Structure formats: C-alpha cells, structure tokens
Chain A
Amino acid sequence: MTQEPIIRTRDLNKKFVRDEFEVDALINANLDVHRGEFIALMGPSGSGKSTLLHLVAAMDRPTSGSIEVLGQNIATLSESAIARWRNHHIGFVFQNFNLIPVLTAHENVELPLKLTHLKKGERHQHALTALKLVGLEDRTGHYPRQLSGGQEQRVAIARAIVTDPDLLLCDEPTGNLDARSAQEVLTLLARLNKEHGKTVVMVTHDPHAAHFASKIRYLEKGELLPEGEVPEEWRSAPTASDNET
C-alpha cells in the first residue's frame, strides 16, 4: 500500500509499575496500519497486544515513543480533546460487550450519538440503521439481559460503528462467545471491513479469529514482531494469507 498509514507508532514503549517492580508492557513497537486493513494482533496473555490497542484508542498514554492516529499525534491532546477525538474517529468493541444494562439495545447504540450535533430523529434513525446492519432490528427495545452473548456483542458492534468512525478497535471480541456466536461476530467484522471499508484492528489470542483478518501481527513479551515473522508456537495455526487465498 502506498498511502499514508492511518496508525503509525514508532518506538512505542509502555511501562507499568506494579508494587515496586517496573514491567515493560510494550517495547519499541513500530506499527503501520493502512486504511481499509483488517489487522489482527496476536499473542499470548501479557504479550502487550491489549496495551498497544489501548494506546491506539488513546485510553492510555505511552511512556515514550510516538503514536499518530489519522495524522493526529494523540499523545499531545488534552483529556477533553481526546474524548471528542475518540467519539469522532474510534469505535471500540470490548471482550465483555460493556453495554449499559439499564438502557435498551437502541439506547445503547444511540449513546455515542448524544455527543454529536444530530437531532433526536436523526440519532434514532442512525441507531436503527446500525442495528439493521448487525441484524438486530427486531431487538431494539430489548435490554442487554434479554439478549444472548452473541446478540450483545452485535449490539456493541452497532454502537461502535454508529458514529461512522474511521477505525474499529476490537479487544478480544469473541473471547466470551460460543463458537457459533464468535463466527457470526467475526463474519460481521469482516463484512464491515470488506463492504463498508472500515479499518479494523482486532486483538485476539484465537488463531481461528485471526484467520478473518487480512494481516496478522504477533507480539511476544511486549515486543511487536516484524511483519511476516511468526513465533514458533503459532506456526501450525492458520494465517491471514490462508484467509486471503
């Protein structure tokens, strides 16, 4: 790809202090993600994949290094500017769905639109469209407790895409789902990438889930391995190129 990457990290580091110990969660990560890509970040627990995703979503600040998302150096933004930026440009999908239990599916999806200048009717229509896109137009009035895990995650995806963000960031989106629901969610993410041109960055430790991505990057002990390099233990797993063929 020749165009400028929409995510560019250079020598990105993140250290955590646990008790008296300093832990290197991410070490000199250099990542380029281009518009329209579906990239999977893979690695075992504690490899730093979620840390990298959180830094891209500006949910955390790096210890050192640079991070540019959509041409914006997000490390320099104020708290309130980051909040606005996140609302406009990022859709985030959580492993635990994180729907607001007291709001209906429609209200959950409409929630990010409250921060836009859309009128009530427009917000309603946008939320309905997003729910239709994930195949849940008949569940608009249901509360999260009245939905299955797969349906909850699809509502969460509808909430993530309702503002038409540039980037869809997914943190283990199938981690709490059964195989069938996971398949539905992954198919949906792939469709959003292919048919709607959404750039998707997905963290997973499930090789089957990673198979849906167009590119897989591996992390090991906080280090992002160079593109194409696959750690020994993942060699038998399906690769993104399998998916492309």
Chain B
Amino acid sequence: MAIPLSYNLRNLAVRRTTTVMTSLGIGLTVAVLVSVLSLVEGLSSAFQSSGHPRHVLVMRKGGGSELTSIIQRSQFLEAIKFRPTVERNAQGEPLASPELVQTVNLPSKEAPDGMNLTVRGLMPIGREMREETRLADGRWYADGRREAVVGSSVAARYPDAKMGGKFKFGRGEWVVVGVFHSDYPARNSEIWLDANQMAADFGRFEAFSSVLVRTRDEVAAQALINELETDQRLQIEALPERAYFEKQTSSGDVIKYLGTFVAIIMAIGSCFAAMNTMYAAVARRAREIGTLRVLGFSRRSILVSFFLESLFLSLLGGVVGVILVLPLNGLTTGVGSFVTFTEVAFSLRMSPGVIGAGLGFALLIGAFGGLFPASNAARKQILTALRQI
C-alpha cells in the first residue's frame, strides 16, 4: 500500500506560501492556454454550428468567398433557380436566394479606426429561407428604402449600428431599424438590407455575389453540387453552407498556434518552478524519506508519493488558472475572417473540454516538474537521508 495521500496534502498545506506561489505560476500558464482554447472553441462553435443542412451556397469558381464572387442574373435564372433538386415554398416558388455581399467599415470601442463588416442584400425569399432568424428589436427593413437590420453581435459592438443608428454605405446614409438574432451564430455578425436598394446604390443590377439554394434533402444537395460543378460552361462552385462556415474556423488558427506556443514557453518556466519547489520539498524532508524507508516503504512508494504531490500542486495551479479565466467565459469579441475579410463576432466558450485540457496541461507541467525530484527522493540512501537536517 502506498504512503497516505494525507501526508502529501498536509505537506502542501504546511508550506502554504511556496504552494500558493508555485500554483499561481502554473495557474497563469494554464490561464493563457485556457483563454486561447476558449477563444478557439468560441470561434469554432460560432462557425461549426452555423448553416442549414440542406442549403447549398453557389459562387463563382475560384472566388473562395462571397465578397469576391460574381454570379450573373442569367446564370441564376437559367442554371440554378429552376433545377428539380431545388426545394419550393408553399407558393411554389423555388427556394433560391440571389444575394449581394459587400463590406462596410464601422468603428467600435475596440477598433476606433473601424472594422469591416459583412453587408448582405436579400430578396424576400432570402429572408424566408432564414427561418432560424428572428427580430430581437425594431422591425424589418422596408423594400426600396435605405434601411438596415443588424445582427445582435453587430448591435452590441458597434455604436453606429445600434437601433436608430446611421452609417454611410453606397450612395447614402442607412438607418438601423431593427436587430435580428439567428440561431446560427455566424449570421449575427452581418448587416442585412433590401437587395434591390443595395443593387441600385452600387449599380449592380445584372450580377449577384452568390446564390443560396435549399434542396429537397441532403442527398439532393450533394447531387446539385455535383451537377453545378461538373458543368464547365457555368464556371461556378457550390458547397454546403455548413462547409462554407466551417472553412472560416481557420481564421482562429493564428490565435490557436500563437497562443499555444506562448503557453508552451510559459509551461517550460512553470515546469522549472514546480521542479524547484519539489526539489526543496525533497531536501527539507530527507529525514522523513529515510524514516519512511526504515518503516518499510519501498523506493517506488517514495517515488509515487512525491510524484503525486507534484501533481496535486500543479492541479491546484490548474484550478487557479481556470478560475482566473472564468470571468471571461461568454465575453464577446471579434476576429477578422481570412475568408470573408470581415469581422465575425463570437463569445469565449469555456467548455468542459477546454477546462479538461487546461487541467490536463497543468498535470503535464506537474508530471515533468515532479518526476526528477521524486526520482531523487526515491534514490536516496537511507542513512544519507537520515543524517540530513
């Protein structure tokens, strides 16, 4: 049987100053990692939970994003809208929405020089296809007027985009008359307008940016994608709407890699802190180690005992780290998408997985930091240990 855990826990409590300082050091490292992972988790969640399973997004081949894509009105009418795989609404109208996408630069508290936001011009069918979106405040824009309805994330972060706010776009000033909220988080970072009014402002009557199509089922969605992509005359690409959003999670990659790199550098420092603390503990308790050996505890028991103590110490640090980041959970922030070149707002998300990763990281620090001191304790000769003061 092993040396009782109370022996280790009480020793940590006895040298509480060292314990607190070391665990705080480990805690800060864990806090960095947990913050980064929460950002990435929030971003992934915003994109990965967005998009209708039967929606297909059609863009120009090689465009990569709606912003740089052009679909001619003739292409829309002749090759997309009336395909048999396209779902129809109760009135028999095909659920195919030609859309205009532009950007507008609005200042926020975090970016006074402004950030690019996606502006989407929609036909009535486009709004109809977005049933998961509902008005949170105000009213929908009136057709033929310079009125806008903004996503809830935009309204929360941009003063000019609050209810009643005004912003310059196209040939004039647009008034915010409503705020919408979508169950697909990525949509809440957009501004929606009447597509015809937007086309008039930009003189784009014969071309759209993209077309969103709803198919009868998911099999039909794949069939439509195959049909459109294999037709060489069209030169268009089609992909599931979900895949388009998921592609944008790569926007968090820089944060993820940079943050993890910083956390790893900090972790190396924390490993040394834990190691230092444990070496000091082993030195201070040399006589106890000798006594335990005389009582019959094996070298292995000593190794396990001190290794566990290091893990306890680091786990405490991990808990401290998680607690430090806890107030940031749910905090909304934004990141520039490398696909749309606009900002996408999302909330930091401390999921159980993120917390688990943070605690696991802390244990890893404790394991590396504790292994050598624990091995040093186990290798001590009994008499040498007993003679140490």
Contact = CB atoms under 8 A, between A and B. Distances in A.
Interface stretch (A41-49, A83-91, A188-196): A83-91
Contact of A59 (B6, B294, B297): B294
Contacts, number: 69
Contact of A112 (B295, B383, B386): B295
Interface centre among B2, B292, B296, B383 (most CB of A within 10 A): B296
Interface residues of B, number: 26
B294 A92 contact: yes
Nearest to A162: B295
A59 B296 contact: no
A101 B287 CA distance: 11
B298 A79 contact: yes
Interface in B347-389: 382-383, 386
Interface in A98-126: 98, 100-103, 107, 111-112, 114-115
Nearest to A81: B298
B14 A80 contact: no
B79 to A, nearest CB: 79
Given A79-B299, A103-B10, A98 B1 contact: no
Contacts of B290: 98
Nearest to B294: A92
A84 B296 contact: yes
Nearest to B12: A102
Contacts of A54: 383
A54 B7 CA distance: 26
A94 B291 contact: yes
A57 B294 contact: yes
B21 interface: no
A79 B11 CA distance: 27
A60 interface: yes
A80 to B, nearest CB: 5
A80 B3 CA distance: 15
B298 A98 contact: no
Interface string B288-311: 101111111111100000000000
Nearest to B287: A98
Contacts of A103: 4, 6-7, 10
A107 B299 contact: no
**Chain B interface, DSSP helix/strand/loop, else mixed:** helix
The bracket for how many chain A residues form the interface is 20 to 34
Contacts of B300: 80
Nearest to A160: B295
Interface centre among B13, B291, B293 (most CB of A within 10 A): B291
A112 B296 contact: yes
Interface centre among B2, B288, B299 (most CB of A within 10 A): B288
Contact of A83 (B6, B297, B386): B297
B12 to A, nearest CB: 10
Contacts of B296: 83-84, 86-88, 112, 115
A2 B6 CA distance: 48
Nearest to B299: A79
A114 B294 contact: no
A172 B295 CA distance: 18
Contacts of B291: 94, 98, 100
B382 A87 contact: no
A74 to B, nearest CB: 14
Interface of B: 1-4, 6-7, 10-11, 13-14, 287-288, 290-300, 382-383, 386
8 contacts: A54-B383, A57-B294, A79-B299, A83-B297, A92-B295, A98-B386, A100-B291, A159-B295
The 6 A-B pairs of least Cβ separation, nearest first, read A87-B296, A102-B10, A98-B291, A83-B298, A114-B1, A59-B382
Given A60-B382, A83-B297, 14 more contacts: A57-B294, A83-B298, A86-B295, A98-B290, A98-B294, A102-B6, A102-B14, A103-B6, A103-B10, A107-B4, A111-B292, A111-B295, A114-B1, A115-B296
